[in-house]
Structure 1
């Protein structure tokens, strides 16, 4: 064994400048601290699962490329090469890559802010540009087919019909529908209380007579259950997010619907489209949908507003030719 050089290298000098906690903190311990903080802050289970999934993908890549799992040794170049791998090797779409970037950015921001690392490799890390494509919605014919598919002589049929009708009436997210309790249906006020929101701001969404009538029928059939959740299984247990997601796909397949994504989110887009067509204002739409910014609401208005088409008839350059 050769004699070591007494003069420390640049890398060894950097280690001296770091705190003992930073030097010794491994990737798994860092992730554990981060997830514990997420739980303390009351983040949704779905959000925590998202962080675990995306961050662990980066961990697997570090192992795959024989890199250190010491969190303080992750540098900007590692992040760049990981993103290149996602784009070029796995050929992931920009939206999927951005999901990974956001998760890693949140993790490293937490570690840096809590002084567990001395430098943040994700500081101001840019997202990929996404080209927003056409937003898929159901046609009126497809909506009728979906709503006519459940067997209303069965409990599950009544439940699924109520669920899909509520998605169409309110445009709520799948996760929001999962968290609705029976007590959140305010019949006299004509609203549903949405407690499990994306941005943690509770809100009320309005419902009209047809929706209230169906909810009354369903609640009577549902009866008393051990759980307070609105949508329940035959065993009286709360429907999970994944089981509710399968409802739309199941009935869409049975209805023979093709060419559109069979999901609760397509109902959300459909609600927005029909609301804009029927004259909903941008602020009303933002409040009902629960968007924290106007960006997505403006997208809906730009895509689905018929006002521009009507005005174009008046100023079209070809009008008098």
Structure 2
């Protein structure tokens, strides 16, 4: 089967399985990139893709596209899903699956988080923006950052957030995460206040307020690419040398502060909507030294004469 037809079949299958629009988009971006790579190597049929083809493609991603190990591992995961589907569909045999012996790249255990200075610099930048022409973007992006910091939500969850899912009375937000899973998470009084004021601002700014919380100048919901562009512009202005400025760094920062302030890993798992505890425990493993210092400082046995 032609690789380009196989990719289309895979897309149809993901749509039938009701994957989110963003998930399908991410699959297609990478699979189309892979198809282009194979076409240049004159590999047109899916049956002709070998483990060496995959390795050559991944080396190309690392060397020519400068993909880091995390990005490469995402591509490996997507290719595994694609070729597993090819096996399930009897397009290729199990023993001919080129991904069967491809292992993930080793990644550094360091996870970037923002410190107080980073956060203050970003928020102060938006506070200082003057003029009515900047007021909408400044207030929206300021509130966007506070929402990410105060909830730990994912980029897709942020873009999908609607006002009907924000309960400013009980202080809860309903988010729709990976695989369309729905979860209710609590938010602090401080974030409730910020969102309430931002909601009034949007109602005054637009004759007919959008159902979505974070919107563009045309009163339409922001796309994930639009939010990434916000951080791309902010990155150029802030010029942080020691941390990556992205939506996921805010999520890591939420997890880091939660644990450093004494939160337990089980509650954090629920807050981050991780499907299993192992995903949350990676934070515990990385920041274990800092947790030990906190424990040594605040352990109740310290004040007991035993």
Per the shorter chain, which TM-score range?
Answer: 0.7 to 0.9
Label 1:172 to 1:89 Cα distance change in 2 as closer, same or farther (>3 A).
closer
TM-score, length-normalised on structure 1? 0.80
Alignment deviations for residues 111-147 of structure 1 (CA, whole Å, 9 cap, x no partner): 2212233444145333224232421111112212212
Asked if the contact 2:202/2:209 (under 8 Å) is kept, the reply is no
Label 1:105 to 1:252 Cα distance change in 2 as closer, same or farther (>3 A).
closer
Alignment pair present for 1:309 and 2:293 = yes
Separation in 2, partners of 1:170, 1:141: 20
- Quote the residue 1:247 is aligned against: 230
Alignment pair present for 1:49 and 2:57 = no
* Equivalence map 1:228-307=2 (5 Å): 228-255=211-238, 257-305=240-288, 306-307=290-291
TM-score, length-normalised on structure 2? 0.83
Asked if the contact 2:49/2:98 (under 8 Å) is kept, the reply is no
Label 1:171 to 1:82 Cα distance change in 2 as closer, same or farther (>3 A).
same
* Equivalence map 1:39-118=2 (5 Å): 39-67=15-43, 69-86=44-61, 92-118=67-93
- Quote the residue 2:196 is aligned against: 216
Separation in 1, partners of 2:211, 2:97: 44
Larger Rg: 1
Structure 1's unaligned 5+ residue stretches are 1-24, 314-321
> How much is the aligned-residue C-alpha RMSD, in angstroms?
2.5
Separation in 2, partners of 1:155, 1:87: 39
1:45, distance to aligned residue in structure 2 (A) = 2.2
- Quote the residue 1:204 is aligned against: 184
- Quote the residue 1:141 is aligned against: 117
Alignment deviations for residues 127-180 of structure 1 (CA, whole Å, 9 cap, x no partner): 224232421111112212212221487222221111110111011111110110
Which one is further off, 77-86 or 219-228?
77-86
Asked if the contact 1:72/1:118 (under 8 Å) is kept, the reply is no
- The count of residues paired between Structure 1 and Structure 2 equals 287
Asked if the contact 1:191/1:206 (under 8 Å) is kept, the reply is yes
Asked if the contact 1:109/1:122 (under 8 Å) is kept, the reply is no
Label 1:176 to 1:77 Cα distance change in 2 as closer, same or farther (>3 A).
same
Label 1:309 to 1:52 Cα distance change in 2 as closer, same or farther (>3 A).
same
Q: Please identify which structure carries the higher helix content.
A: 2
- Quote the residue 2:2 is aligned against: 26
One of 159, 164, 187 as aligned partner of 1:178:
159
Asked if the contact 2:20/2:179 (under 8 Å) is kept, the reply is no
SS at match of 1:150: helix
Asked if the contact 1:138/1:267 (under 8 Å) is kept, the reply is yes
